[in-house]
Amino acid sequence: MPLAKSRSSAADVALNVAAQDMTSLLADLAATESGVRRNAVRALGLHPGSAAALCDRLQVETSPSVRAVLFTTLIRLQSPAVAVRLAKLLRSDDAPLRNAAIEALQEMPDAVAPHLQTLLADEDSDVRIFTVNILAALRHRQAPEWLAVVVRGDPHVNVCAAAVDGLAEIGGPETVQDLRDLRGRFAGNAYMEFAIDTAIRRIGAE
């Protein structure tokens, strides 16, 4: 029988449960081994005061697995201050980083809500698109309303298109008129017409 019980019953891994102090944990954020960094991030997650340091690390960390743990931990530690730091990443050139920031912000409705107006007014249309993407998946009662505001006023076709896509999922009958009005603003744009028709059909208020 080749099946064997683990001789050491996996106890060869020392259980390092002793509470590590903040200073050494913060130092471990820059350790060479990614496993040490991941453990440091998780341990720091128990100290709300470490959120800023974790945000700092996010800006230089390149390992996908450590980044993932950083984002997950920051979701747990969420606060308006964390949301502001993550929102800055929407401008990053690093596609995985900015997309992970979008996902993390979607998980912190109350923390991100106070910043949404500013982000929706950003001069960079890509930042506005990402904000609309956040809104469309945000567990927040006002999300459909904010998307409707975008549809009514944003000058950029792709920002409006993203908002229409969001409304197709979370919009109610009250947004249908805004969608109809939008058609006039981008007349002749085949995608926009398709998106508006789809949204109105999905909202179910033809």
Partner 1 sequence: MSEVQSIPRGPSDARKRVLVVDDGITMRLYYRSVLEAAGFVVEEAANGVEGYEKVLAHPFDLMIVDINMPKMDGYSMLRLIRGDAAVQAIPAVTISTEAGDRDVAKAFEAGANFYLVKPVAPEELTEVARLIAGVTKL
Partner 2 sequence: MTASFSTRSNGNGVTITDEEYAKFCEFFYRKTGIQYQDNKKYYVDRRIVERISKTNSESFRDYFTMVRFQVSGEELQLLVNSMTVNETYFFREDYQFDALVTGILPAVVQGKRRGDPIRIWSVPCSSGEEPYSIAINILERWEQADHWDIEIHASDIDTKILAAARAGCFSERSVGRVPPQLLSKYFKSKTAGEYQICDALRDSIDFSLVNVVEPAQTKMFRNIDIIFCRNLLIYFDDVGRREAVEMFYDCLAPGGYICLGHSESMSRMSSIFQPRKFKDTIVYQKPVSEE
Between residues 154 and 168, which has the closer beta carbon with respect to partner 2?
Answer: 168
In contact, 135 and 146? CB cutoff 8 Å: yes
Q: Does residue 139 bind partner 2 (CB under 8 A)?
A: yes
DSSP code for 206:
-
- The interface partner of residue 195, options being partner 1, partner 2, none and the CB cut-off 5 to 8 Å by kind, is partner 1
Q: Does residue 126 bind partner 1 (CB under 8 A)?
A: yes
In contact, 161 and 129? CB cutoff 8 Å: no
For partner 1, the binding residues in 157-176 under the rule CB under 8 A are 157-158, 161-162, 164-165, 168-169
- The interface partner of residue 126, options being partner 1, partner 2, none and the CB cut-off 5 to 8 Å by kind, is partner 1
- The interface partner of residue 123, options being partner 1, partner 2, none and the CB cut-off 5 to 8 Å by kind, is none
* Pattern 68-107, partner 1, x by CB under 8 A: -------------------------x-xx-xxx-xx----
* Token pair for 180: 């109809």
Helix (H) or strand (E) holding 176: helix 176-185
Q: Does residue 17 bind partner 2 (CB under 8 A)?
A: yes
The CB-of-77 to partner 2 minimum distance in angstroms stands at 11
Binder to partner 1 among 125, 170, 183, 185 (CB under 8 A)?
125
Sign of torsion, CA 112 118 123 129? Answer: positive
- The interface partner of residue 1, options being partner 1, partner 2, none and the CB cut-off 5 to 8 Å by kind, is partner 2
For partner 2, the binding residues in 25-84 under the rule CB under 8 A are 33-35, 38-39, 42, 62-66, 68-69, 71-72, 75-76
C-alpha 82/C-alpha 64 separation (Å) is 20
Look at the block and give the residue holding tokens 């950083």: 70
* Token pair for 183: 């058609």
C-alpha 66/C-alpha 78 separation (Å) is 18
Between residues 34 and 39, which has the closer beta carbon with respect to partner 1?
Answer: 34
C-alpha 160/C-alpha 152 separation (Å) is 8
The set of residues, in sequence order, having a beta carbon less than 8 Å from that of 56 and lying 6+ positions away, is none
**What is the full DSSP assignment across 88-113?**
HGGG-S-HHHHHHHHHHHHT-HHHHG
Between residues 37 and 154, which has the closer beta carbon with respect to partner 2?
Answer: 37
The CB-of-34 to partner 2 minimum distance in angstroms stands at 5
